[in-house]
């Protein structure tokens, strides 16, 4: 089964209006901007997309908007829910909406034994014919799909074609590759380890700051992929203070704030999240403004 999980895939944010409804007009515009900058597809409804706070019908509406906006490019939504039954229903709805792949997460809230998480994702994988990517993010979800566990899931499910690795340890990329070879694509899931992850063998990047800097994100990945080490390092030095905004608990608010600062969105978030205030906000704004005044010219 061909994997659509390659190159730069934005973990696209969900824009909200003042009344807390989804701004579908801006969502479509934003998606097209990402794709025109060279991104290879879109990943909505993930952690950055505030999938945990969107209702089921809102999620399906987001997917329909993005499928229409993306044209020939794939929409690859995050599939996460409180229960396995709800996750299966969302996976099936995504397939019906025209999505071309799924990013499968462990269940929200419940942090049980690994066998429960593997049973959960296994049910989602069996519920669809679409190619799927497993999302491993132990700090966020309390479940660690180890390399050996990932290899077992790949042996059991032919439509599991990729892994988004967000443990923060680049050695996980090589450990997974050592067990599965080219059977699975491995993607970097944390913004501030893209160069390290690609060097270890990752073939894609599920990116966050791409929502505000898509051209720089695509260039950063391609330089790392193509072995242009000096150019990649120079761009990375400029980009890293921004990319590190993706690695703190307030990453959703901060990335939306960056979008607002560059004129590509609004910082509104779905409660219980609230826009950041105080020192954290000022520090983030200083990072963004310094980046804008020292922006690296892309070639």
CB 200 within 8 A of CB 175: no
Share of the chain above pLDDT 70, in %: 100
pLDDT per residue as tens digits for the range 202-236: 999 999 999 999 999 999 999 999 999 999 999 99
For the cut 90, the answer to whether the pLDDT of residue 65 exceeds it is yes
Beta bridge partners of 9: 206
Beta bridge partners of 164: 135, 187
Residue positions annotated with a catalytic role: 135, 164
- What's the first-to-final CA gap in the chain, in angstroms? 35
Structural domains for the chain: 7-226 (3.20.20.70)
For the cut 90, the answer to whether the pLDDT of residue 299 exceeds it is no
pLDDT per residue as tens digits for the range 122-144: 999 999 999 999 999 988 888 89
- Of the candidates 238, 273, 232, 237, the one whose C-alpha atom is nearest the C-alpha of residue 255 is 273
Around Cβ 97, how many Cβ atoms within 10 Å? Answer: 19
Q: How confident is the model at residue 297 (pLDDT cuts 50, 70, 90)?
A: confident
Mean pLDDT for all residues in the chain: 96
- Of the candidates 13, 70, 33, 76, the one whose C-alpha atom is nearest the C-alpha of residue 208 is 13
Tell me what pLDDT residue 110 has: 83
Tell me what pLDDT residue 141 has: 84
Torsions phi, psi for 233 (to 5 deg): -65, -40
Tell me what pLDDT residue 134 has: 98
Tell me what pLDDT residue 71 has: 97
Q: How confident is the model at residue 189 (pLDDT cuts 50, 70, 90)?
A: very high
For the cut 80, the answer to whether the pLDDT of residue 173 exceeds it is yes
Tell me what pLDDT residue 263 has: 97
For the cut 90, the answer to whether the pLDDT of residue 278 exceeds it is yes
Report the pLDDT averaged over residues 51-76.
98
Q: What is the DSSP string of 146-183?
A: -HHHHHHHHHH-TTEEEEEE-SS-THHHHHHHHHHTTS
For the cut 80, the answer to whether the pLDDT of residue 181 exceeds it is yes
Tell me what pLDDT residue 168 has: 87
Report the pLDDT averaged over residues 267-288.
98
For the cut 80, the answer to whether the pLDDT of residue 298 exceeds it is yes
Q: What is the DSSP string of 15-59?
A: -B-TTS-B-HHHHHHHHHHHHHTT---BB-SSTTTTGGGS-HHHH
CB 267 within 8 A of CB 253: yes
For the cut 90, the answer to whether the pLDDT of residue 294 exceeds it is yes
Structure tokens at 31: 């998606």
CA 107 to chain centre: 17
For the cut 90, the answer to whether the pLDDT of residue 190 exceeds it is yes
Beta bridge partners of 185: 162
Report the pLDDT averaged over residues 39-43.
98
pTM, 2 dp: 0.96
């Amino acid at each position: 089964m061909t994997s659509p999980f390659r190159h730069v895939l934005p973990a696209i944010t969900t824009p909200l209006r003042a009344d807390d409804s989804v701004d579908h007009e801006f969502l479509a515009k934003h998606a097209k901007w990402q794709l025109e900058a060279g991104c290879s597809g879109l990943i909505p409804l993930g952690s950055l997309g505030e999938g945990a706070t969107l209702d089921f019908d809102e999620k399906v509406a987001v997917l329909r908007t993005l499928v229409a906006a993306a044209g020939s490019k794939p929409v690859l939504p995050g599939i996460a829910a409180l229960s396995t039954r709800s996750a299966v229903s969302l996976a099936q709805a995504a397939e019906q909406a025209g999505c071309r792949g799924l990013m499968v997460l462990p269940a929200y809230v419940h942090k049980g034994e690994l066998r429960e998480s593997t049973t959960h994702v296994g049910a989602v994988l069996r519920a669809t014919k679409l190619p799927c990517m497993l999302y491993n993010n132990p700090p966020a979800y309390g479940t660690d799909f180890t390399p050996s566990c990932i290899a077992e899931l790949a042996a059991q499910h032919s439509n599991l074609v990729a892994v988004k690795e967000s443990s923060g340890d680049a050695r996980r990329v090589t450990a997974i590759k050592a067990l599965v070879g080219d059977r699975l694509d491995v993607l970097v899931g944390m913004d501030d380890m893209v160069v390290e992850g690609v060097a270890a063998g990752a073939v894609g990047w599920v990116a966050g700051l791409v929502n505000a800097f898509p051209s720089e994100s695509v260039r950063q990945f391609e330089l790392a992929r193509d072995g242009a080490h000096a150019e990649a390092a120079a761009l990375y030095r400029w980009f890293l203070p921004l990319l590190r905004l993706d690695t703190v608990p307030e990453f959703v608010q901060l990335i939306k704030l960056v979008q607002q600062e560059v004129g590509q969105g609004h910082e509104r978030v779905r409660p219980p999240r609230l826009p950041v205030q105080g020192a954290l906000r000022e520090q983030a704004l200083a990072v963004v403004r310094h980046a804008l005044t020292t922006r690296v010219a892309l070639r």
